[in-house]
Amino acid sequence: MAASRSRPPDVPGAVAGVLARAGVTSGSRLCCCLSGGVDSVVLLHALCEARDGLGFTLSAAHVHHGLSPHADDWLAFCRDLCARLGLPFLSFRVAVRRDDPQGLEAAARAARHAALAQVACDWLAFGHHQDDQAETLLFRLFRGTGVRGAAAMAEMEPPADGRAGRLRPLLGLRRARIAAWARERGLAWIEDESNADPRFARNDIRHRIVPAIEPAFPAVVPVLARAAGHFREAGELLDQLAALDEAACGGTMLERDALLRLDDARLANLLRWQARRHGAAAPSRNRLAEALRQLRGTAAQHPLRLSLGALACCAYRGRIWLEDAEPPVPPAPQPWCGEPRLPWAGGWVAFAPAVGAGLSRAMLERGAALRLVPRASGLRLRMAADRPRRSFKNLCQEAGIPAWLRERLPVLEVDGVPAWAGGIGCAAGFACAPGEAGIEPVWRTRA
């Protein structure tokens, strides 16, 4: 007997497989992102069937973009469908920027995801399918994407940092198969007229470019989807390499010398990875190349703050790190009651026990009010008993503190008198004597 080829799973089987791989159980909360189109309607019905076996909590959410004259009808359709199925239903009305430089589709997507982020659930489930995956890969390749972008969409994105996870249970199924399942079940759905508008790039790919390729490459859609999986594996390997390189370079505050021993490709990969972990888009190739050129071409003792778009790459005192392009605002004064560490302007100030170094523990204990404060206008410090008080500007220049760090510099006050300034040191009147018990503050600009 000839061996038979394995058939792809049907809709319920595909959904059940993804839910199992995600570890969805009776305690899980799922929300189906319901546009009213055939894909999300099929997903909602398949999730209802899976819920009966797994016992998870299921709801649905619809985003009203206000872009179509039929948007109110779509909202009513989704609300009525959930009422018939006995499901909790949420709806969101969003304002989409029509002049967004990334285009109307991108603006609508950003507004939609911002709204859905408000749903209290463990998993958001989307109706993306294999044709969507192939179109996404082509769209990104046409725009010059890298390996990570070519990975397109993931079947599962685990919850992280308080954000619900993402599930795409239909990602392995073709659009035609999903529509056929809907017709077999007698399901009703709405048609979004914008899906046929060739002015949108994705629609042009769907209706013109892919059909033009299919006569020569009939399996173009599943092949592109498989390629996206290969790109995803490669991207995961690059992420693992970046994590190893970060650890070898001393952590998130990278040791300059160790970092610059990496070749440009690994260094750029590490900074892109850190940017994504920072919650920002990876910097452009040109910005990154210019940053690397300046990091390698500037003397170690010279501070740098280089623009990477939404982030800045900072180099100071042998460390290199990424931070928001908009510098953090110094926090309000906060009391110090002996804690080993206090947060400060995106970084922290640690207070370490010392002997013969730092601030005199005895003088600190005699103080009635110890506070960490932003530096005040007109701040002056005497750094040695036999020297005059110096202005803050002069002290910063002498210490090599760049202008872009000065506004967030922390100052420890004892009963209103400055005793220590981050990056500068201890005032002479509070300095620890040789052999005396002390406390040595340490300011780190990045957590």
Residue 240 included in any domain: no
Same domain, yes or no: 130 and 262:
no
CATH for 159: 3.40.50.620
Same domain, yes or no: 114 and 135:
yes
Same domain, yes or no: 182 and 299:
no
What's residue 4's pLDDT? 42
Residue 241 included in any domain: no
Same domain, yes or no: 276 and 369:
no
Same domain, yes or no: 210 and 268:
no
Report the number of distinct structural domains present in the chain: 3
Same domain, yes or no: 67 and 124:
yes
Q: What is the mean pLDDT of the chain?
A: 91
Q: 250's torsion region: left (phi>0), alpha (psi -120 to 50) or beta? A: left
User: In what side-by-side order are the strands of the sheet with 359-360?
Assistant: 341-344, 347-355, 437-444, 359-360
Report the 10 Å Cβ neighbour count for 392: 21
Range of 4-13, 321-330, 437-446 with top mean pLDDT:
437-446
Same domain, yes or no: 57 and 119:
yes
Summarised one tens digit per residue, pLDDT across range 356-370 is 999 999 999 999 999
Same domain, yes or no: 18 and 164:
yes
Whether 120 has a pLDDT exceeding 60, the answer reads yes
Residue 383 included in any domain: yes
Q: Whole-angstrom Cα distance, residue 315 to residue 66?
A: 46
Whether 3 has a pLDDT exceeding 50, the answer reads no
CATH for 261: 1.20.59.20
Cα dist from 103 to 109, 141, 283, 422, whole Å: 10, 17, 20, 45
Residue 257 included in any domain: yes
State which of 210, 225, 240 marks the end of a domain: 225
- pTM exceeding 0.75: yes
Instruction: Decide: 147 and 103 in contact? Cβ < 8 Å.
Output: no
Summarised one tens digit per residue, pLDDT across range 388-423 is 888 888 888 888 888 888 888 899 999 999 999 998
Give CB contacts under 8 A, 24+ apart, made by 111-114. Answer: 111/63, 111/65, 112/63, 112/65
Same domain, yes or no: 317 and 358:
no
Q: Whole-angstrom Cα distance, residue 343 to residue 328?
A: 12
Summarised one tens digit per residue, pLDDT across range 66-88 is 888 999 999 999 999 999 999 99
Same domain, yes or no: 363 and 432:
yes
What's residue 232's pLDDT? 96
Instruction: Give the whole-number percent of the chain exceeding pLDDT 70.
Output: 98
Residue 146 included in any domain: yes
User: Is 239 buried (19+), middle (13-18) or exposed (0-12) by CB count in 10 A?
Assistant: middle
State which of 324, 358, 380 marks the end of a domain: 324
What's residue 185's pLDDT? 94
Residue 349 included in any domain: yes
Residue 5 included in any domain: no
Summarised one tens digit per residue, pLDDT across range 188-206 is 999 988 888 888 888 999 9
Same domain, yes or no: 147 and 213:
yes
Residue 298 pLDDT grade (very low, low, confident, very high; cuts 50, 70, 90): very high
Q: Whole-angstrom Cα distance, residue 223 to residue 414?
A: 68
Same domain, yes or no: 290 and 319:
yes
Q: For strands 347-355 and 341-344, give the pairing.
A: antiparallel
Domain that holds residue 177: 11-225
State which of 166, 191, 225 marks the end of a domain: 225
Residue 235 included in any domain: no
